[in-house]
A and B are shown apart, each in its own frame.
Chain A
Amino acid sequence: MAELFHRKIERTAIGFVLAIIAAASVGGLVEIAPLFTIDDTVEDVADMRVYTPLELAGRDIYIREGCYACHSQMIRTLADEVDRYGPYSLAVESQYDHPMQWGSKRTGPDLARIGGKYSDVWHAMHMNNPRDVVPQSNMPGYPWLATTPLDISVLPAKLSAQRAVGVPYTDEMIANAARDAQGQATPDSDAAFEAMERYGEKTQVSAFDGITTQVTELDALIAYLQVLGQLTQAAYVDTAAPEAMPDEDPAGAPATQAEQ
């Protein structure tokens, strides 16, 4: 019977193709499909908010420049990573990330909790020329960001597209996207207060690059970097202790093997 079957799948290469698909697709299905029962994959937290239009624009610049090639945004559940970068990353923190930027290589440090670690001024100087603030750095400078105006006219369309892939932006947020971006980079303006009303009290309004007359790409990028790890406080509240290093048992980090 087996012979008959195989003679048949070989006679027509189509049968053979189907066999390849059958063999190859099962692994992906088994691993990926269950992840979409989302409640069990992604924690449910109340304070998780979406990116503001300015932060989203900044994220798009992060994507455009290919920052993932050198920076991760995923703190693993290992003691040294938690000590270095902060609480390990939760699934919920990248819930609204399309695409995710977890990365795979740390030529530079992890950025999952970079938000709030440095001042806006530090970031502005660092982006202009990293070696001005970190002499040993090998990161390229991005001086043109400070002089390139941000295209805020495209933001409503961007928010709509984000909503189409599942990010819960409201009609109001979409309609006011450009104004909110302007507002977030212009402290004490009416637009700034409106943006805070829409995106929450904790929305960081700042001059970011230090200049309020024009919203630049640098404003957007700094706004994004400053919100990394700040969209929800869930990770800072009640995460379990990190896993012990596999090869040792550092004092002070109780080895939780509960999940194994």
Chain B
Amino acid sequence: MATGNRSQSAQGLTLIAPPLSYALLVMAAPLLTILAYSFLKDGYLTVIREFTLENYRAVWSDPIVRTIMLRSLSVAALVTLVTVVLAFPVAYFLSFVVAPGRKAMWLFLITIPFWTSYLIRVFLWKVILGYNGVVNSGLKTLGVIEQPLGFLLYNVNSMVITLAHAYAPFAILPIFIALEKIDRSLLEAGRDLGESRAMTFWRVTLPLAMPGVVAAALIVFIPTIGDYVTPALIGGGKIPMIANMIQSQMLDLDNRPLGSALAVTAMLIVAVLSLIFVALNRRFLKVRQ
């Protein structure tokens, strides 16, 4: 169009204004409010407008917070590890074995469960793993066990299984995309230069796929930490994670400043861990260019 650079950016800004204002109003402003609250004093059912660091002191010194925070982190880390390790071969299969014409169908099949109700999927794991659940009743019917297995539900393992299931497609897609980008002649070059199939995978494929693995890990890790439903249903409310704690501080106990400090702290920890993780993988990410 007959437009220069200035009107180009003016038009762009005009167009982006509605979604940007929406994101600012409905997301950024509330997040900043939380940030502000976290520095204010709590006066039961109200918030006193007075600057304090007391909330953060409370959060960081409370052993319960520490336990829950560590549990959230370790569950999320475990889920990330399990998800990525299980997903990698599937992504590899999709990229290297499946015929190009059938890739879209496989991707579609893999993404479908992700789009079905998360709540129902989590609940179904409870049904599957429960004391009188599918696994126990099935095994009993088959005569494998006499008494139902009690260790299936209401523990960290069952939470890891559930979450790993919930975030599986999240992990497959970034790895798949990274693998798709690899120039196939590089692998042939690796073989041509005398490496075995396994060594070619180790020295060529894996480093080149690393950016995808990093993206997959982050995309699983971040939402898992903030998961609310799984601890509530699968953990039976007895193994709360950070999201459950934020909720109870904010609503049940109505201590908004403390809840805000908790939320801000959690976000900070996640952000810092993610940055460290990305930094550690820098040398792999460099390959991307």
Verify that A and B bind, or say they do not: no
Chain A residues at the B interface, C-beta cutoff of 8 Å: none
